[in-house]
């Protein structure tokens, strides 16, 4: 459920007209609904209420400070994968003791930063990483709370680029090696083994892969218990899909119930790391039509947002619904919605039925709140768009539009002979 609706033929975010925001901030811009974010966090919290649980929002989905602050105030922690994400999460007010750190390539400086901050848990992805954590912890005279991220080898049935829990993927420790690895970890004075984790992929639209993965992880946790290795946290990662077009992903309620059914009667604290399911449908990208271009083959809507602003269509051929911000009673036709970037791959939609529109008209690219701005770039020296947040009838710029000066920040020219 999101809060982007048409009121009297005009697209609104909560109570604010999208066209009005466009007048004030210019286009393109990202627009997030604070109350949708809050609802989504609550939905996960409610769904897991029968268990001890912690929802750690995956910062990679949307790392805007205001967004992190909103989800943090709803009680969420953060799932991070870099020192930069740790910096953002802390700056946004998320307590370190609610932060879990995943990722295959944590560097020693990053590990040190996280240990100093006092995060809840490192999800270790290899024995090599375990050695690095031990050496940093020894230097700092600290104990690191850790889990192993295991690779449960289940097929999440999603796009191959975002499948992570298959044997052939680079993520996690092969589940068959987990027991030995844990035996090694509990010997180390620098470590406190507190959990086990996994993450099998993203935009997963069925429950069964989550259920299979959790059962496999639970078997390892039980085997560890028999060996005397007590574990408090079971972190089952993120991955719950959203509706972009006609998918029917599990609701947080269904997902929560499936987890609760498996974990009922155990004393584990379950951690979930949703990103897309929290932020995806809480955001849109608003863009303005610059030109319509007719060729013998096609009609192009050339808009002022491009693949540098929203990479998903180009990168994954991802479908994002596009709507005219103002409904009009005009004929519809199939068009390609493309940006100004000098690549054929620069499109937001292909062969899409849209109403006939004029230059200056506004379009909204939906479901853009996750992996939208965070994957944006300055390609073609395009300043990145602002991020605007709406709450009720109020809106504000949570991140300013970049300027040309921002584009060259940090660059210098040395005169050479």
Q: Which residues bind to ligand LLP, rule: CB under 6 A?
A: 58, 60-61, 79, 102, 162, 199, 202-203, 237-240, 273-277, 312, 370-371
C-beta closer to ligand LLP: residue 12 or 320:
320
> What is the chain's Cα-based Rg?
23
Report angle CA 222, 228, 231 to the nearest 5 degrees: 55
Please report, for residues 158, 203, 208, 227, the alpha-carbon distance to residue 249 in angstroms, rounded to integers and kept in the order given.
12, 8, 11, 38
Please say whether the beta carbons of 311 and 348 come within 8 A.
no
- Residues forming beta bridges with residue 257, ordered by sequence position: none
Q: For residues 44 and 49, give the distance between their C-alpha atoms in angstroms, rounded to a whole number.
A: 8
SS (H, E, C) 200-266: CECCECCCHHHHHHHHHHHHHHHHHHHCCCCCCEEECCCCECCCCCCCCCCCHHHHHHHHHHHHCCC
56: annotated active-site residue: no
C-beta closer to ligand LLP: residue 127 or 162:
162
C-beta closer to ligand LLP: residue 273 or 361:
273
C-beta closer to ligand LLP: residue 66 or 102:
102
Q: How many residues does the chain have?
A: 417
C-beta closer to ligand LLP: residue 203 or 391:
203
Q: For residues 130 and 144, give the distance between their C-alpha atoms in angstroms, rounded to a whole number.
A: 10
From the CB of 61, what's the least distance to ligand LLP, in Å? 5
Q: For residues 218 and 176, give the distance between their C-alpha atoms in angstroms, rounded to a whole number.
A: 13
Q: For residues 325 and 413, give the distance between their C-alpha atoms in angstroms, rounded to a whole number.
A: 44
Q: For residues 378 and 405, give the distance between their C-alpha atoms in angstroms, rounded to a whole number.
A: 12
Nearest Cα to Cα of residue 312 among 353, 280, 355, 286: 280
From the CB of 276, what's the least distance to ligand LLP, in Å? 4
- Among residues 56, 134, 198, 342, the one annotated as catalytic is 342
C-beta closer to ligand LLP: residue 237 or 386:
237
Please report, for residues 137, 195, 287, the alpha-carbon distance to residue 108 in angstroms, rounded to integers and kept in the order given.
10, 21, 41
> What values do phi and psi take at 332, rounded to 5?
-105, 155
**CB count in 10 Å sphere of residue 202:** 26
From the CB of 316, what's the least distance to ligand LLP, in Å? 6
DSSP state of 163: B
Q: For residues 324 and 340, give the distance between their C-alpha atoms in angstroms, rounded to a whole number.
A: 19
H-only helix segments in 264-326: 276-279, 312-316
Catalytic residue ranges: 342
């Amino acid at each position: 459920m999101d809060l982007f609706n048409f009121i009297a033929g005009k697209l609104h975010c909560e109570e604010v007209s999208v066209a009005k925001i466009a007048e004030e901030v210019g286009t393109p811009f990202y627009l997030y609904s604070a109350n949708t974010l809050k609802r989504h966090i609550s939905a996960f919290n409610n769904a897991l209420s029968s268990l001890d649980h912690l929802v750690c929002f995956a910062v990679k989905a949307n790392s805007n400070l205001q967004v992190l602050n909103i989800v943090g105030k709803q009680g969420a922690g953060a799932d991070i994968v870099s020192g930069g994400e740790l910096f953002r999460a802390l700056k946004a007010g998320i307590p370190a003791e609610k932060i879990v750190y995943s990722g295959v390539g944590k560097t020693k400086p990053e590990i040190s930063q996280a240990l100093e901050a006092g995060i809840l848990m490192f999800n270790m992805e290899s024995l090599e990483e375990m050695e690095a954590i031990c050496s940093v912890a020894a230097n700092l005279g600290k104990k690191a709370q850790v889990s192993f991220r295991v690779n449960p080898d289940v097929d999440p049935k999603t796009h191959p680029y975002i499948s992570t829990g298959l044997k052939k993927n680079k993520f996690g420790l092969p589940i068959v090696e987990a027991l030995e690895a844990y035996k090694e970890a509990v010997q180390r004075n620098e470590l406190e083994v507190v959990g086990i984790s996994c993450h099998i992929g993203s935009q997963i639209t069925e429950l069964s892969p989550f259920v299979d993965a959790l059962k496999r992880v639970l078997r390892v946790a039980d085997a560890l218990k028999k060996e005397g290795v007590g574990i408090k946290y079971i972190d089952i990662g993120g991955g719950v899909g959203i509706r972009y077009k006609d998918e029917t992903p599990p609701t947080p309620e269904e997902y929560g119930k499936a987890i609760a059914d498996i974990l009922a009667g155990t004393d584990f604290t379950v951690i979930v790391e949703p990103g897309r399911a929290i932020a995806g449908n809480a955001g849109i990208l608003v863009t303005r039509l610059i030109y319509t271009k007719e060729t013998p083959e096609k009609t192009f809507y050339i808009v002022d947002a491009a693949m540098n602003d929203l990479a998903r269509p180009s990168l994954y051929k991802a479908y994002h619904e596009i709507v005219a911000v103002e409904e009009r009673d005009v004929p519809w036709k199939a068009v390609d919605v493309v940006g100004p970037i000098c690549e054929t791959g620069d499109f937001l939609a292909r062969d899409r039925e849209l109403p006939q529109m004029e230059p200056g008209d506004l379009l909204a690219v939906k479901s853009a709140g996750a992996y939208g701005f965070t994957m944006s770039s300055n390609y073609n020296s395009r300043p990145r768009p602002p991020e605007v947040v709406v709450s009720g009838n109020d809106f504000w710029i949570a991140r300013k539009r970049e300027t040309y000066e921002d584009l060259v920040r940090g660059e210098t020219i040395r005169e050479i002979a």
